[in-house]
Chain A
Amino acid sequence: MELETRTTKSLWLRHESILLLLLVAEVLYFWAAGRRFATADNVANMVRHSVEIGLLALVMTPIILTGGIDLSVGSTLGLCAVIFGKLWRDAGFPPWIAGLCTLAIGALCGGCNALLITRLRLPPLIVTLGTFSLFRGLAEAMTEGVDAFTSFPASFLFLGTGAIGGLPTQAWILLSLALGIWLLVHRTTFGRSFRAIGFSFEGARYAGLPVQRRVAFVYVLAGIVAALAALTYTARFGTAKADAGMGYELFAITAVVLGGTSIFGGTGSVHGTLLGVAAVAVLSNGLGRLPAAMNMASELSGMLTGALLLIALAGGLLPRWLAHRRG
């Protein structure tokens, strides 16, 4: 038993060190081949651009740890951005009240997923696929596909474009959330139960854990943080449109899986997810800095992220396969 824990542990160490190596290789390559890659401006830029995906990946980690998945986070982001814009411009709320209401809407979106998943025992996959379409559709319907909200006050835009203590403002949000989620998942019994549920749902239930409440918690948390990401997204671009955050769910899931969290639930880590976010962020930023790839950076980074996800998934099987061989 002890031997088994040690093997898995050393393998986990290996997974994260491989990821770190990949990250270093990426950075070195783009530093050598890219134009103005390793400048302070570009690093700040990279951080700004990856905060939303980072936030979504951080809350996706507990979900995947419980063996679930949330495909609707990108759509929740879009819906929350539009609702924030509507509350501010049409209802005339000051930005901070509109922001708080938006967080509540996010909680409502997450709660909708949680309700269907825990009360009706529906598979998370199909529920969030439905809400993926529903939330994005509501955002499109509310803006009639074209309406965009702009000219927010400077005090709000500071959230997306300003800097505190040399770091972009939203980086502080990301860092504090990362710390919070890390403490929750790795240092509390509450967070430990996510892995227990992902490892064995029935086992966790027989052990007396309130599994349905814990599962509901992670989906509601994802909704709230997606709303938070909607605020930083809107503040960064200065506009709120229905297509905000489209496809972000893929980047978030990729970062989590790349970070070593098993897609089947049960094992994984938050620091791994942060490394995964960094790897995805450096890839998409670096491609934009390559003279050869500059014009098609978004296509290439999307394509490579998809491919990376497949490789990470297949690579995630390696420890199991090795353990199987040894066993």
Chain B
Amino acid sequence: MLNRNSREISVVAALLMLLGLLAVFTPHFFDPQPLLSRLTAAAPRLVLACGVALVIIARQIDISIGSLFAVCGTFAGYVAATGSPWPVSLLTAIALGALGGAFNGALVAGLRLPGIVVTLAMMVTLREALRLKQQGVFVNLPDHAQWFGLPMTTGQYLVCSIAGGLLVVLAFAMKHVAAGRFVYAVGSDAEAARLAGVRPRLTTFCVFVLMGALTGLAAVLNMVQSRQVDPNSGRGLELEAIAAAVVGGVAVSGGRGKLWGVFAGLLLLICIGPALTYAGVKPYWEKAIQGAIILIAVIADGSRKGTHH
């Protein structure tokens, strides 16, 4: 048990240590209201990180989610601006995201093209198409759209519990539902999975569709937090999500990883920002630190793999 989860346990230990340091040096970090706001802001990223974790477990990659996130958010914003109730904009965003994911999935699973290049092309095509359409103009939302029409604190709790509920459901499904086990099987050895009766290409396709749908959901969870939708949102989100997954113990070679580890990885990443600010590091370093974290996490995995052989 301890050995099997050692990667996740080390992440949790690092997280607890960081939280401990924050508690000693900046007790204000744990004030309920700012903490809730911080968690609410992280909720869309949690949804994306769960999706990306599934994609990486299936030994694929998707870097188009940042652009798809912006497209879904803008589209959902337009739907909400027409006065439709929020479930309508939520469902359209999820459907649009699933459509984008299905496109990626068809190219990757259907034509067997490498995911990185397909989603790189998708990332740029979607981003530029949105830029062409919006020319940087924000979408203004009506009053009833913010926080699902609820008071702010209730809305924040709702956003957090949607993301948290999704995490629990997906983590359960990955462990105990056949479809979840298929993702691990395909990621660790697609040929062996095929011989065992799993359909690897269908599984890969479904993972991409789910990733798209989760991107749509994340876009709405982000949209309800403000009065406007920024068509430039989502830049670099794909890297944040990949970083959370990789730090949380998802192996880049596929077939290994747990969603609760990803959750711990994401919490670790969102706590590093405030910790650095208190330590006096300028915010310009954020991107460099993110890259360094991804590299450190994969190096840690790589050397672990080395000791096993």
Binding site for B on A (CB under 8 A): 69, 71, 116, 120-123, 125-127, 129-138, 140-141, 143-145, 247, 250, 253-254, 257, 263-264, 296, 299-300, 302-303, 305-307, 309-310, 313-314, 317
Contact = CB atoms under 8 A, between A and B. Distances in A.
B14 interface: no
B284 A144 contact: yes
Contacts of B298: 116, 122, 126-127, 130
Contacts, number: 138
Given A130-B291, A307-B125, A313-B111, 17 more contacts: A69-B116, A116-B298, A121-B302, A123-B252, A127-B298, A136-B288, A145-B284, A264-B114, A296-B135, A299-B129, A302-B125, A302-B131, A306-B124, A310-B107, A310-B121, A314-B113, A317-B113
Interface of B: 61, 63, 107, 111-114, 116-118, 120-125, 127-129, 131-132, 135, 236, 239, 242, 246, 252-253, 282, 284-292, 294-295, 298-299, 302-303, 305-306
B124 A303 contact: yes
Mostly helix, strand, loop or mixed at chain B's interface?
A: helix
Contact of A141 (B131, B242, B285): B285
A127 B135 CA distance: 34
A122 B288 CA distance: 20
A123 B125 CA distance: 25
Nearest to B123: A306
Given A306-B122, A314-B107, A299 B288 contact: no
A120 B302 contact: yes
A130 B295 CA distance: 6
- Choose among A129, A302, A305 the residue with the greatest number of B CB atoms under 10 Å from its CB: A129
B118 A310 contact: yes
Given A306-B124, A310-B125, A130 B294 contact: yes
Contacts of A144: 282, 284
A144 B285 CA distance: 8
Nearest to A316: B113
Nearest to B127: A302
Q: Which 7 A-B pairs have CB atoms at the shortest separation, nearest pair first?
A: A137-B288, A134-B291, A137-B287, A133-B291, A306-B125, A302-B128, A303-B128
A140 B282 CA distance: 11
Contacts of B302: 116, 120-122
Nearest to A135: B291
